[in-house]
Structure 1
Amino acid sequence: MLGLEIVVVLGAIFLGARMGGIGIGYAGGIGVLILCLFFGLEPGSIPIDVILIIMSVIAAIAAMQVAGGLDYMVKIAENILRKNPKHITYLAPAVTYFMTLLAGTGHTAYSTLPVIAEVAKEQGIRPSRPLGIAVVASQIAITASPISAAVVFLSGILEPLGVGYIQLLAVCIPTTFVACMITAFVSNFLGKDLKDDSVYQERLKKGLVKLRGKSDIEIKKGAKLSVLIFILTIFSVVTYATLISKKVAIITDPSLPRNAAIMVFMLACATIISLACKVDTSKIISASTFKSGMSACVCVLGVAWLGTTFVGAHLGEIKDFASTLLNQYPWMLAVALFFASMLLYSQGATTKALMPAALALGVDPVTAVASFAAVSALFVLPTYPTLLAAVEMDDTGSTRIGKLVFNHPFMIPGVLAISLSVFFGFILGGIILS
């Protein structure tokens, strides 16, 4: 029966991957239905807090987008990239990393990908180099963002074990960023130079490659104010979470716990932006970030529910098999998280599905924090939206998916960046958390 259940779980995930987008969430629901009705499993816990945090954060980001705040951020990013075009391979991942760090979602990378591709072409740099690591950086930064659902959930289950919210960020932010920058250096040597790429030369002869030049983005009146309000809200969230943490305990027995605080702070942020920047709230639900975020909520609901249903039913067997293995080889947790996120397509869903079980097996907090970056292997299957967008934005043909499916320009940067993040995580985590 266990073998058949695994087939159902993997079948649902692969079906969802073929459907693409929100389909992974739909297929996850089918998997839960089959496991419960035909195999008699109890439904697992639904990641309600993770979903609600994503919804709240996206609500604020969508309000900021309608107010023109995202356009303003993209304009700043474009100016940075164009002032130092020769260093595009380093600046591109830095930009997408910090935009994700700030917003708590990798979907903000969409708006910068065309700029990255254009600047690279103008300099004769193979666009797949900066685009590959930029997409990967936007995914890994989720594990370092103060307001991402994955970070908030992990900090919640680690706090009883003596690891505070700020300690988690103190490990995750520097390790993931340094890993991305080292990977950016390596990316400079990946693939042929653009002038030597036969696909590029063929597309150039056919007139399929065009230089569009600097984009002309009109910045709305309330754009700067909306960004300021959003940044102040993030600062408030981090400050409040620190004050109520057990390590600091300036506010003891808070009436508003951290998860609820993030939700209401973000909804309050959306309200203030809408009022102060005179946002037409009817346009918010049509914003691209709102659509992407709500799609992500359905994906998390389906795949995380599928994961908790299966793991919860076999926690005893998993403990027997994994406890000895993880005690001997702690880094195997990172490997498990890597392959799980590859299939679950969500950092939040992977964290919710596997981290509680890992801690229940006796995995120590240092190992859990160090391995956390491995939940970002969303680049392995070339069907993730930001990955496909990068392929679409590059008209040189250098950012292409190979015939073997897995031989795409995101694989090497992704595996390397995650490996380095985990390696540095064990070092820095051992210093900060010990």
Structure 2
Amino acid sequence: MIWLHLLVVLGAILLGARLGGIAIGYAGGLGVLALAVLGVTPGDMPLDVVSIIMAVIAAIAAMQVAGGMDWLVDVAARLLRRNPRHLTFLAPVVTFLMTVMAGTGHTAFSTLPVIAEVAKENDLRPARPLSIAVVASQIAITASPISAAVLFFSGLLEESGTGVDYLGLLAVAIPSTFLACLATAAVLTVVDRARGRTRLSDDPEYQRRLAAGTVVPPRPAGQAREVRPGARLSVAVFGVGLLAVMAYATLISEKAGVITDPVMGRDQAIIAIMLSVAAVIVLTCRVEPAQVLTASTFRSGTSACLCVLGVAWLGLTFFAAHEDAIQHAAGDVLAGQPWLLAVALVLASALMYSQASTARALMPTALAMGVAAPAAVAAFPAVSALFVLPTYPTLLAAVEMDDTGTTRIGKYVFDHPFLAPGMIAITLSVAFGFAIGAVVL
């Protein structure tokens, strides 16, 4: 029956991927229902992950309405325009840092237009900085102190008695993913220069669109968007909340041992702190609460929650029903070659479209199979292979925002400019993770 159940799971995920958007979550629920009809008891719902995402999104949306996101984007735009020759390196740095701070890769939506404009202004092909920036925004989820994926995985490591805690995970994940993104930019810059594919004016598709008059002129470099008076304050409040989450997680960790009997667990603390951040922003920055519900980050975050709920529940249902068989079949292989966990995570995340969903579904089983904690931590960035299929929202946004035609999806499913940067970045992240983990953990 395991193969029939696997077909149901894959069929539901592929249906969701074909429909796109929030339908991925719908299809996950449909898959759970189909498995239940076949006699499979539904697994635990990932309400812990969903709750964390909702709380973080609530704070980010309040900051966006207060003008904080616009201010951050203007800061990023000034940085990029002052250093256009290093755009391929700075673009992923900007999206990486914004994702680490916000705990969601959807912040890239605001910076992708700036990256495309700066590239056009300086005769650079937008495809390369855009593709690496999108990949960096996805991988940075595994380095964010407030992302649902990090909080779940660190909690799992602590509960399993592995000796690796929240701080240990971040000590490996942050440098390994950041260095991997920079190294990916360096590798692809060398490749592009060797192939003579750096200048936008040399691209035939751009020349065709330019002749047809379909390329929109870039915004004047000195033109900045209007920022609300409370924008900087909202960013400051959110930053204090981020520091509070990290500080509390540090104080209650077993290694620090400052608070040995905490009143709140880490998940409860981040939810309470993020909701409090949203409340303070609404009070001090004169934000109308009704506007938060219409903010783009709130809408995309709600969609992400439903996708996680459906797809992660489907994955948990399948793995819970066949945990013994999976452990028996793959346990010895993973224990002997733990790097194969990264391969499994890439394949799973490419279909599940969520770092948190992939971690929630596979990591408990991996640890139960005997994968050592340092190896699991090193493989953790592989849950970010959301770029494999060209249907993820930020990926599609990059394609739409590049009217030069250099960032385009080909006739075949996998011939798009995000696959190579993504696979290089994940491979390097895992490799760096093993090296750094050997020293830190």
TM range (shorter): over 0.9
Note if 1:43 corresponds to 2:42. Answer: yes
Alignment of 1:271-286 (within 5 A): 271-286=279-294
The 8 Å contact of residues 133 and 187 in structure 1, kept in 2 or not, is answered as no
1:394 aligns with 2:402: yes
Match of 1:187 in 2: 188
Shift of 1:362: 1.0
CA contact (8 A) 1:104 1:145 kept: yes
* 2:351 maps to 1:343: yes
**3-state SS, counterpart of residue 217 of structure 1:** coil
C-alpha distance in structure 2 between counterparts of 1:348 and 1:285, whole Å = 23
Structure 1 match to 2:3: 3
User: What is the CA-CA distance between 1:216 and the residue it aligns to?
Assistant: 3.2
CA separation in 1, counterparts of 2:31 and 2:216?
Answer: 45
Rounded to whole Å, the distance in 2 between the matches of 1:335 and 1:230 is 35
1:204 aligns with 2:205: no
Instruction: Give the structure 1 partner of residue 165 of structure 2.
Output: 164
Query: Are the aligned partners of 2:120 and 2:218 in contact in 1 as well (CA < 8 Å)?
Result: no
| Distance in 2 of aligned mates of 1:48 and 1:405 | 33
2:314 to 299, 302, 306: 306
Instruction: In structure 2, give the amino acid aligned to 1:157.
Output: L
Residue 411 (str. 1) matches residue 410 (str. 2) = no
Cα-Cα RMSD:
0.9
Give the TM-score, by structure 1 length.
0.98
Give the structure 1 partner of residue 392 of structure 2.
384
- Is this contact kept in 1: 2:335–2:369, CA < 8 A? no
- Match in the other structure for 2:26: 26
Alpha-carbon distance in 2 for matches of 1:157, 1:357: 11
Gaps of 5+ in 2: none
- 1:114-263 correspondence runs (5 A): 114-159=113-158, 160-188=161-189, 189-190=191-192, 192-193=197-198, 194-213=200-219, 214=221, 215-263=223-271
Partner in structure 2 of residue 12 of structure 1: 12
| CA displacement 1:55-88 (0-9 Å, x = unmatched) | 0000000000000000000000000000101110
Q: For residues 283-342 of structure 1, give each alpha carbon's deviation from its aligned partner in whole angstroms, at most 9, with x where no partner exists.
A: 000000000000000000000000000001000110011111112211000000000000
CA contact (8 A) 2:16 2:23 kept: yes
- 1:236-268 Cα shifts (integer Å, max 9, x gaps): 100000000111110111111100000000000
TM-score by length of 2: 0.97
Deviations 1:358-381 (A, max 9, x none): 011111100110000000000000
Contact (CA 8 Å) 2:335, 2:372: kept in 1 or not?
A: no
Cα drift, residue 158 of structure 1: 0.6
How far residue 5 of structure 1 moved from its aligned partner, in angstroms, is: 1.1
| Kept in 2: contact 1:109–1:135 (CA 8 A) | yes
Q: What letter is aligned with 2:99?
A: T
| Counterpart code for 1:45 | D
Aligned residue identity for 2:332: T
Q: Is the 8 A contact 1:89 1:187 kept in 2?
A: no
Q: Could you tell me how far 1:212 is from its partner in structure 2?
A: 2.3
Mapped contact 2:342–2:380 kept (Cα < 8 A):
yes
Kept in 2: contact 1:44–1:312 (CA 8 A) = yes
Letter in 1 for 2:430: V
Distance 1:147 1:65 in 2: 17
Which AA in structure 1 matches 2:16?
Answer: G
